[in-house]
Structure 1
């Protein structure tokens, strides 16, 4: 995944699909940090991942389409084996992505962890590079027994003809799909391309509806100008070159000893990789050149480029408390609320007692003490004052929890001004403030240190 051009090629291939894929699962991503993972994002998808920070290799990623309601339920790296589990709320379905390091020394530990995870799930489908060859019964007997005991069935067709990795000397099935959805029908296909030395797996639960790309109907628009504006660096020429390279790959695979076919494939492979990078560079160079004196458009281009750095939901899926780890969303919210409501007084109590009678501290305390006036004592407002406040609102700011934007408020000002003024004065007279306007959305932002600590 981190090899230059490889991820861009994946984007090119995804653009050819007539419908959106729910999930894209990658193994052996070779990611080494959160910052690096943030560089590999697919527009319209959320990226969940687990990486190995102590050594090279490994890693798994799950890209989930944002039209689905989803959440991370578990991710860990133990003994260089990776586990990521997410939940698709729309389907009441858990999805797992697993990578097991290719050695036999950690097999028992891996099977213990994996079996515990399987028993915790409800309806689930699990994908992974297990590095356990289903064609070799010597090492997979216990693995099969664990799956069977947890109610799971291997979806692969266990035959050399349907191997997931093939080289000159051997054929193996080390990439597996398993599920406990016994009542569902599936479509399972293997795709052989030069993107990886493993075959890609296409898996579809047949009775689940696909998410088709939404078609937007435009009116009174110059379509030539529109298409010119939205043209991306991915073009038909690149797609044709990828298809041609795949044909040469198939010819080479059918006759691996033919040096001429091998040479043709390598030449086309390198050509595709270079062309993708050239098209992408030229596209963004032209985009920056066209808006060199237009800061707003420049930021728009930068925003387009930063689709690799999507806005993250910083709310953690688990945090550490005095009583241990908690993962329930409501408990996490309550803990954050308790922490921030008490942090002021807790820090104040840490101030040495000799400073408690400090003149400076007393002045601050008096200045920020309880208000001496109530709402009912405030002078009523006027339509002129309310109108001026609305006129000064910044239309570039977002709407509040009520969903009313400053721009909308300005548009309907003359219609609501009298009634709005009456409502404000009524609240002042009765000494009340609307509860709905007391709500604030607070988002904790991770800065540094352990992500489990508040």
Structure 2
């Protein structure tokens, strides 16, 4: 009776595959025991032109082997390894850096016709020297082993895999498979017990320190609230927008126009006008806001003191120049920096790079499709990507 039922299920399975033009790719056994072997893990495909390779990997994680399939063409292929950009300080010397800056001709900064040209000229000259003494490098970040994985567990894993190899080489030795199976189960139990004990120890160790406790819980995968999706979808003119550039443009327009839009919705009152050019508005704040004020130009001494007070532990801005190098070069660059600041004060113009910002929309409440339910977190700086420092 069981055999008849199994045959009927197999025929239904085959009919379903044939109906939609699918082909079962895995032909070799995917589960092997001492007394049996079967191909019970499948990969189905209805277009073999898109398949590059497929097969079975006999690995000792469980008694089910790993099956795999790779495509011929993968869109937007990216490196699976994580990496960050860092400035290498392997050959960095403050004395050499300062000496090279002393030899720089800053005349292009002082001869600039506007403050934008002056700033860009300074940034390019400074960055060129900085790149020569502390070049930017792509550093691969390795994923460390889980903190509860001990040397004993790793040794047991190696022994388990060794017995799996022996089992494959000599299938007529049931003792080999029994030994592998016992080690496999031991590894599973040891990892579970080690993880449980690790969590108990960390909770007991940090029961009076909630900050450290949540840090460990987050490392284990526990979050105080659900993670947000990296891809934001917005409702733009009644259409759900998925394109990242269109979403960014919509956020940009919304955040830059929100103030004027809110003012336009304010009720019109006879006793007060929200028009900043109206006499009522000017008279309302006449006693609070002065008619005019003047910004005084700064001295090189003032600029030097400000540069030397920079906190080098703060994150790097979007210009890619860490505060450490600005501070190291304070005596050399105080002249051109002072000139740029005073040029900006005299002309009443701020360099365009200083007006740029990296805005990260953070979801707050209600519908995720509405841009108004996100709050902008702003990082000021220029167009270049942030770079951290590698010592």
CA contact (8 A) 2:148 2:195 kept: yes
Tell me, in whole angstroms, the C-alpha distance in 1 between the residues paired with 2:359 and 2:257.
16
Tell me, in whole angstroms, the C-alpha distance in 2 between the residues paired with 1:322 and 1:392.
49
Q: Give the 5 Å matches for 1:26-105.
A: none
Task: List gaps (5 residues or longer) in structure 1.
Answer: 1-131, 146-153, 220-228
**Structure with greater contact order relative to length (CA < 8 Å, sep ≥ 6):** 2
- The total of aligned residue pairs comes to 290
CA contact (8 A) 1:245 1:269 kept: yes
Match of 1:411 among 304, 328, 335: 328
Q: 1:421: which partner in 2?
A: 338
Deviation digits for residues 235-256 of structure 1, max 9, x if unmatched?
A: 443234235556479979x99x
Q: 1:172: which partner in 2?
A: 40
Tell me, in whole angstroms, the C-alpha distance in 1 between the residues paired with 2:189 and 2:204.
22
Match of 1:189 among 56, 67, 82: 56
Distance 1:178 1:143, change over 3 A: closer
Deviates more, 1:319-328 or 1:346-355: 346-355
Shift of 1:418: 1.6
Q: 1:446: which partner in 2?
A: 363
Match of 1:429, SS state, is helix
Shift of 1:421: 0.8
Shift of 1:379: 1.6
Are 1:402 and 2:319 counterparts? yes
Q: Give the 5 Å matches for 1:224-303.
A: 232-245=147-160, 247=163, 268-280=183-195, 302=215
Shift of 1:333: 1.1
Match of 1:343 among 246, 258, 263: 258
Shift of 1:323: 2.8
Q: 1:306: which partner in 2?
A: 219
Match of 2:15 among 130, 134, 138: 138
Distance 1:134 1:305, change over 3 A: farther
Match of 1:157 among 17, 25, 28: 25
Structure of higher CA gyration radius: 2
Tell me, in whole angstroms, the C-alpha distance in 1 between the residues paired with 2:258 and 2:32.
56
Match of 2:240, SS state, is strand
Q: Scaled by the length of structure 1, what TM-score is found?
A: 0.47
Are 1:430 and 2:334 counterparts? no
Tell me, in whole angstroms, the C-alpha distance in 2 between the residues paired with 1:342 and 1:209.
36
Task: List gaps (5 residues or longer) in structure 2.
Answer: 1-8, 91-143, 372-391
Deviation digits for residues 323-350 of structure 1, max 9, x if unmatched?
A: 3111222211111112222322333344
Q: Give the 5 Å matches for 1:197-216.
A: 199-203=65-69
Match of 1:418, SS state, is helix
Q: Scaled by the length of structure 2, what TM-score is found?
A: 0.53
Deviation digits for residues 197-222 of structure 1, max 9, x if unmatched?
A: 754224457999997899xx999xxx
Distance 1:429 1:212, change over 3 A: closer
Q: CA RMSD in A?
A: 5.7
CA contact (8 A) 2:234 2:368 kept: yes
